[in-house]
Amino acid sequence: MAASEPKLDLTLYLVTDSGMLSGSKTLVQTVDEAIQGGVTIVQLREKTAETGDFITLARKVLKVTRKAGVPLLINDRIDVALAVGADGVHIGQDDMSLADVRRILGPNKIIGVTVQSLEEAEAAVRGGANYLGIGTCYATLTKQVKVEPQGPSGIRDIWEHVLKLPNPTHPIRAVTIGGINAYNAVHVLDSTRTLSGNIPLDGLAVVSAIMATEEPRLAAQKMRAQIRFALENSWLARPHSNLASTEDLQVVRRAVVDVFMQIKSGSHTPLVQHITNLVVINDCANACLAMGGSPIMVTEPEEQHDPAPVISSLVINIGTLDKQQVVGMRAAMREARLHNTPIVLDPVAVGASKYRAQVIAELLRDFGAHVIKGNASEIAALAGSEEVKSRGVDSLGSGFSDPVAVVTEYSRRQRCVVVMTGAVDYLSDGRSTFAIRNGHPLQAAITGSGCMVGTALATYIHSIAHVDPLIGAIAGMAAINLAAEHAASRNDVKGPGTFRATFIDEMYNLSSQQLQDEMVIERLL
């Protein structure tokens, strides 16, 4: 690219569609405001415009983009790009070939290419594309797509592949497109990072998230804020995440006790939203209160929006799944993603039916989670392992031969903390893996003790920005297990019934000194 031409910054890529304008603003105004809100590159995509009208519009838009120092690309139409002196073009697989476009436009123009497979991506990189538009990511109403949406993991596979190509002749850049908005931007950027190297896409491309709003500046600002958050708070490179990876277990223990203390002292009362199962809802609410949180059981899809800004963390538990509940879960997870609220996902009995497996796969594809908590059979089902089978909500057999490898690997793949419960609990964020050896067999004798673990995790992981999720998870796991030990040792506990009530008492009574002294934690990785 010549020095005088705008710099290629793909962070927030606006693809236009004048058919979406509300009527109160022209396309040129919309582009102008979107750039003021943070759009870094614009593609003029006018599928039905006559050539003359397209050129007239492109000239007007170019004035705005040039003033802002933002590149303007033209969708498909090399003739229009040449006529107006645009900064480049974006082409798809059915358009003029990359080689021909390069020959016509010369070496300094930007050429972006849509790719939907490893082969297409490789060819575009070898052919000298300046960037790739990988997708589609999610289903979109903006256009009819020929290839099924690939979801973030499909996009990541392509991104990872091109970055590994030997001897690249130029830097490889990429965005993804399709169904992206401020709600899913963080999840998409986080889950498309390469597994080896943690390298994020260069940005996100959107049409309707900006074009179909009355406030394009505000919409662009929201998107930019989410993209900034995702790039600064990468799962594996969070600013505060060195704590769990420190070699010194004393430092980890102290951090865990600090997280516990914040809640115990009352200096913070997390508002923990639960969409959980009918069997345990009351126990989970009481456990949350006993630990110093405040439970909120908002379940209807229509009422997810209003409280979302003040929710500290969200528990999604599929124990007694029904279709209407899934709609509520999706609405809650969407809001949680917008507010960067930690999500704890409890995939109860996910291996028991195809329906459960499908619901969880879709929730993970569309929203991801910050923590996934399950017993060995649930983690096996999610990780695609046959090693541990389930019977209803329980695991059969003696568990994994190498539980550390399973939780660590699954955590790396899902980019979240994985907590695998059992006689020994394993917790990993993909970099560090710990075992907690507290707890009591009576926990398995009452229903819902696993669900209460979900509550405990969410209570202590109440902020992505302020609590390292792995440290918070250790705090929750250790606290609830110690409460069980204390309850089981009491003389007034005669069996599961008395244990159940006493368990809640001991969650309430547990002190930070007890946590400090009695937590049995081991670093395994």
Ligand X SMILES: Cc1ncsc1CCOP(=O)(O)O
Ligand Y SMILES: Cc1ncc(COP(=O)(O)OP(=O)(O)O)c(N)n1
The residue ranges that bind ligand X (CB under 6 A) are: 15, 135-136, 140, 142-143, 145, 177-180, 206-209
In the region spanning residues 465 to 504, those forming contacts with ligand Y, defined by CB under 6 A, are none
Which range of residues in 84-92, 163-171, 316-324, 396-404 is near ligand Y by CB under 6 A?
A: 84-92
| Shortest distance, position 308 Cβ to ligand X, whole Å | 22
127 sits near ligand Y (criterion: CB under 6 A) = no
Has 451 been annotated as catalytic?
yes
112 sits near ligand Y (criterion: CB under 6 A) = yes
φ/ψ of 319, rounded to 5, equals -50, -50
Task: Return the H-helix or E-strand segment holding 497.
Answer: helix 496-509
177 sits near ligand Y (criterion: CB under 6 A) = yes
Which range of residues in 87-95, 147-155, 398-406, 477-485 is near ligand Y by CB under 6 A?
A: 87-95
Helix (H, G, I), strand (E, B) or coil at 147: coil
13 sits near ligand Y (criterion: CB under 6 A) = yes
Helix (H, G, I), strand (E, B) or coil at 433: strand
In the region spanning residues 139 to 158, those forming contacts with ligand Y, defined by CB under 6 A, are 143
Contact by Cβ (8 Å): 73, 81: yes
Strand-pairing partners, residue 417, are 371
Q: Give 444's DSSP letter.
A: G
17 sits near ligand Y (criterion: CB under 6 A) = no
112 contact, one of ligand X, ligand Y, none, CB 5-8 Å limit per kind:
ligand Y
Residue 257 to residue 240: CA distance in whole angstroms:
16
Q: Compute CA 404 distance to the chain's CA centroid, rounded to the nearest angstrom.
A: 23
Contact by Cβ (8 Å): 296, 314: no
| Shortest distance, position 149 Cβ to ligand X, whole Å | 8
CB-nearer residue toward ligand Y: 6 or 133: 133
| Shortest distance, position 209 Cβ to ligand X, whole Å | 6
90 sits near ligand Y (criterion: CB under 6 A) = yes
- The beta strand positions in 146-262, using DSSP E, are 174-177, 203-206
User: Which position among 6, 37, 88, 133 is part of the footprint of ligand Y (CB under 6 A)?
Assistant: 133
DSSP string for residues in 4-73: TSPP---SEEEE--GGG--SSS-HHHHHHHHHHHT--EEEE--SS--HHHHHHHHHHHHHHHHHHT--EE
User: Which position among 62, 175, 230, 388 is part of the footprint of ligand Y (CB under 6 A)?
Assistant: 175
CB-nearer residue toward ligand X: 195 or 225: 225
Residue 194 to residue 21: CA distance in whole angstroms:
36
User: Which position among 8, 15, 231, 333 is part of the footprint of ligand Y (CB under 6 A)?
Assistant: 15
Residue 434 to residue 440: CA distance in whole angstroms:
19
User: Which position among 16, 30, 40, 43 is part of the footprint of ligand Y (CB under 6 A)?
Assistant: 43
CB-nearer residue toward ligand Y: 14 or 456: 14
Contact by Cβ (8 Å): 460, 292: no
76 contact, one of ligand Y, ligand X, none, CB 5-8 Å limit per kind:
ligand Y
179 contact, one of ligand Y, ligand X, none, CB 5-8 Å limit per kind:
ligand X
Pairing of strands 72-75, 41-44: parallel
43 contact, one of ligand Y, ligand X, none, CB 5-8 Å limit per kind:
ligand Y
206 contact, one of ligand X, ligand Y, none, CB 5-8 Å limit per kind:
ligand X
Q: Compute CA 200 distance to the chain's CA centroid, rounded to the nearest angstrom.
A: 13
208 contact, one of ligand Y, ligand X, none, CB 5-8 Å limit per kind:
ligand X
User: Which position among 11, 114, 130, 395 is part of the footprint of ligand Y (CB under 6 A)?
Assistant: 114
| Shortest distance, position 133 Cβ to ligand X, whole Å | 7
User: Which position among 30, 40, 75, 184 is part of the footprint of ligand Y (CB under 6 A)?
Assistant: 75
| Shortest distance, position 177 Cβ to ligand X, whole Å | 5
Catalytic residue (one of 137, 284, 288, 451):
451
Residue 400 to residue 380: CA distance in whole angstroms:
9
| Shortest distance, position 247 Cβ to ligand Y, whole Å | 44
Question: How far is residue 90 from each of residues 41, 145, 240, 414, 511, measured CA to CA in Å?
Answer: 12, 16, 39, 32, 61
Sheet holding 425-428, edge to edge: 294-296, 271-275, 313-317, 343-346, 371-375, 417-421, 425-428, 433-436, 521-523
User: Which residues sit at the interface with ligand Y, rule CB under 6 A?
Assistant: 13, 15, 43, 45, 75-76, 90-92, 95, 112, 114, 133, 135, 143, 175, 177, 205
As annotated, the active-site residues are 451
